[in-house]
Amino acid sequence: MKRATMAEVARLAGVGTMTVSRVLNGSTKVQPKTASRVREAIERLGYRPNEFARVLRGAKSRSIGLIVPSLLDPFFATCAHSVNTVAQAHGYSMILTTSNDSIQTEFNEAAWMLEKHVEGIVICPTPAKLSKLSSPIFYRTPIVSFDRPLGIPRVASVVVENSAGARRLTEHLIAHGHQHIHFLGDSPNLFTIKTRLDGYRRALSVIGAAPRVNLESNSQNAVTRYLKDVMAERKPPTAFIAGNNRISRYLYRAISQLGLRIPEDVAIVGFDDFDLADMLQPPLTVVNQPVELLGKIAAEVLFAELKVETEDRPEIGGKTVLKVDLIVRSSCGCQSIPEESPNSRVSDSKQLRIASSGISVVV
Amino acid sequence: MKRATMAEVARLAGVGTMTVSRVLNGSTKVQPKTASRVREAIERLGYRPNEFARVLRGAKSRSIGLIVPSLLDPFFATCAHSVNTVAQAHGYSMILTTSNDSIQTEFNEAAWMLEKHVEGIVICPTPAKLSKLSSPIFYRTPIVSFDRPLGIPRVASVVVENSAGARRLTEHLIAHGHQHIHFLGDSPNLFTIKTRLDGYRRALSVIGAAPRVNLESNSQNAVTRYLKDVMAERKPPTAFIAGNNRISRYLYRAISQLGLRIPEDVAIVGFDDFDLADMLQPPLTVVNQPVELLGKIAAEVLFAELKVETEDRPEIGGKTVLKVDLIVRSSCGCQSIPEESPNSRVSDSKQLRIASSGISVVV
DNA sequence: CTGTTAGCGCGTTCAC
DNA sequence: GTGAACGCGCTAACAG
């Protein structure tokens, strides 16, 4: 029982294939009675046009690609969910794949997506001095990056206020009277970490305090060891900033292992909220980023690009920056305040449009 | 700058298109020097064969579909990650979409995947008395369900030991001396919840205790309210079993809100481990399911089916059941034991093969 | 070993 | 309004 073909439908309806095509696409008028005869034949045969033949003939593929480093990280999974939701709303399908932070895998998968004729790609790119995605083979494919920008002019990007967020976090600790604040990141190459670090530095410079940074906090052991080391210093830190939510969790465990009290012995705050951050002892003060929005906007920017006539695409992609907000709990030293929606990761951040050109997006 | 076509390559190399095709697929021998001329032309033009033309010609599409209820749930995201990893290893691409627990969306998306010529579908199906996936249009497409079985004979399924796991949880509480144990689920229709409930009932029946169940624990409020109600009873529960990890988190918050102590006032255990379960106060005792393995096996079963000649596919899909294991922490009343790998969700469960027919999978 | 023919299923000519 | 024929890019059959 193979799939019915257009010719079969035409024969059954006693018309030419062109008429069937007409009825399907409604491009030209067809005699009402002929049309209904065709429709009936379509129904009877369970006919569905062959997408591949269509695309071969020049039609759009109605599919986009999404590349994320990993889906094990709820952050990316949430973004993927949003992208898919947008794609679904547009009647598009989404080819998803992971790069596993391999620049080569990323390139291979993106190239493979091209063969699948995706109309565009949304990607959270792997850090690289010179991205392989600048290869000419991608010239004709709209690309939108999110969370981390891609160093390619025509590629639009959607990111959050990394610097401002880290700055607020730092200022908050300073307001609590802290002078010795350490920043923990898990990679010196990551755009988000670098930018957050920048915000931290800026805030510290205001009070003339010296930054202390560890960018190797990529495992429980590394964090525990670092903590042990610095707490033994002559002037130990009184507060920590975790560069992302994984580091926040490492920190909690490490602190608990060392038997220190939060916030009495050390205060801590983290970038990026996460489930159960409010249930830790004590609840963690964080800067929350609008994760779902991040993916949603990225996808919408892509679809906006798909809409413009295929040729006159702008040479330079826009940049969208999403607001973050501070969620004060008590690990910073504040009194715990009961939250309205305890485990909500969704903020109603408004979007700040910074781009000077490109597609305008309004949320 | 359009993509080069095979004819162009042929012309540049001064050969026929067929020769180019042969060089690409290595189907027949080609004169070494001719071959290298062709290869050079391919290189020069950056030629890549058009997958769509290939598929139209009858080739395999080298893509599979994956449908999950949501990616916001780390459980499904993890499964998706595994499925993608397997697909990638096979050189396949994965079309991913969410059903949002809508039986109609599920059907629409699956049908749309068919148009995209996926060779097979991996799915965590939405509960339904009569799945729309039994529609004839899917007859020729291999389907594998995971986490929840699909009521269609030919569809293979991969699930975990839901009943046995819940039973162990219950027995463990009973061993602690508990008699009044309540079971919390979030839906009466869900296979996993129903099966876990069954295991719970079975364990209770051994000691002749009466089951007490709430299957509406689908929000923080619902759980908090239920807890408040039952704790006011004449013979209040002394222990709870959370049917999944979301409910475990609701329970913790509710108990903390009511100011009860764990495990002194009430003991709790949960089905399905989660990040930070070891960092709660006190750490939560759980049954851990091999989430990554679940997706991996499901994908592997699908690829095994794809391998067999397209026609003689078995009428009845196999069933694979994955082992779960008990992670004893202290919310059950046990002394806290330091774990080896604190935040590992990955267990090295061995697989139990229960199926009587179908593809044999070994891990 | 290599080129020619035909056709996968559809849509766009162009006639009728 | 409708149909016949051609071609999108590729490859299974045949020649040669």
CA distances from A161 to A83, B7, B8, B147 (A): 20, 50, 49, 38
Looking at every residue in chain B, the average pLDDT score rounds to: 89
Query: Nearest nucleotide, C1' to the C-alpha of B54?
Result: D10
Q: How far is the CA of A6 from the C1' of D1 (A)?
A: 19
Q: State whether the beta carbon of B57 lies below 7 angstroms from any atom of strand C.
A: yes
pLDDT tens digits, residue range B174-219?
999 999 999 999 999 999 999 999 999 999 999 999 999 999 999 9
Q: Under an 8 A CB cutoff, do B53 and A56 touch?
A: yes
| Alpha-carbon span B149 to B151, nearest angstrom | 6
Query: Looking at residues B239-249, what average pLDDT do you find?
Result: 97
Q: State whether the beta carbon of A30 lies below 7 angstroms from any atom of strand D.
A: yes
Query: Looking at residues B87-99, what average pLDDT do you find?
Result: 97
Helix extents (H) in A191-324: 191-207, 220-231, 245-258, 291-307
Q: State whether the beta carbon of B31 lies below 7 angstroms from any atom of strand D.
A: no
User: Residue A20: what pLDDT?
Assistant: 83
Q: State whether the beta carbon of A25 lies below 7 angstroms from any atom of strand D.
A: no
Q: Which of A56, A115, A280 sits opposite B48 (nearest CB)?
A: A115
* Protein residue closest via CA to C1' of C13: A18
Question: For testing the chain B interface, which of A93, A113, A245 should be mutated: the one with the most B CBs within 10 Å?
Answer: A93
Element holding B123 (H helix, E strand): strand B121-123
User: Residue A353: what pLDDT?
Assistant: 34
Query: Nearest nucleotide, C1' to the C-alpha of A56?
Result: D8
Nucleotides of C under 7 A from a protein CB: 1-5, 7-13
User: Residue B351: what pLDDT?
Assistant: 32
Residues in a beta bridge with B285: B269
Residue B310's pLDDT band, with cuts at 50, 70 and 90, is low
CA distances from A324 to A160, A251, A307 (A): 7, 22, 29
CA dihedral B16, B20, B22, B23 (to 10 degrees): 140
Q: Which of A198, A197, A256 is nearest to A228 (CA)?
A: A256
| Alpha-carbon span B219 to B188, nearest angstrom | 15
B29 versus A196: the higher-pLDDT residue is A196
Query: Nearest nucleotide, C1' to the C-alpha of B33?
Result: C1
Query: Nearest nucleotide, C1' to the C-alpha of B50?
Result: D9
Q: State whether the beta carbon of B137 lies below 7 angstroms from any atom of strand D.
A: no
Chain B environment of A115 (Cβ under 8 Å): 48-51
Q: How many CB atoms lie within 10 A of CB A260?
A: 15
| Alpha-carbon span B254 to B240, nearest angstrom | 12
Please give the model's pTM, rounded to 2 decimal places: 0.91
**With a cut of 70, which residues of chain A have pLDDT below it?**
1, 309-314, 336-363
Q: State whether the beta carbon of A53 lies below 7 angstroms from any atom of strand D.
A: yes
Residue B14's pLDDT band, with cuts at 50, 70 and 90, is confident
User: Residue A29: what pLDDT?
Assistant: 72
User: Residue B291: what pLDDT?
Assistant: 97
User: Residue A1: what pLDDT?
Assistant: 60
User: How far is B71 from chain A, CA to nearest CA, in Å?
Assistant: 5
Q: How far is the CA of B27 from the C1' of D14 (A)?
A: 16
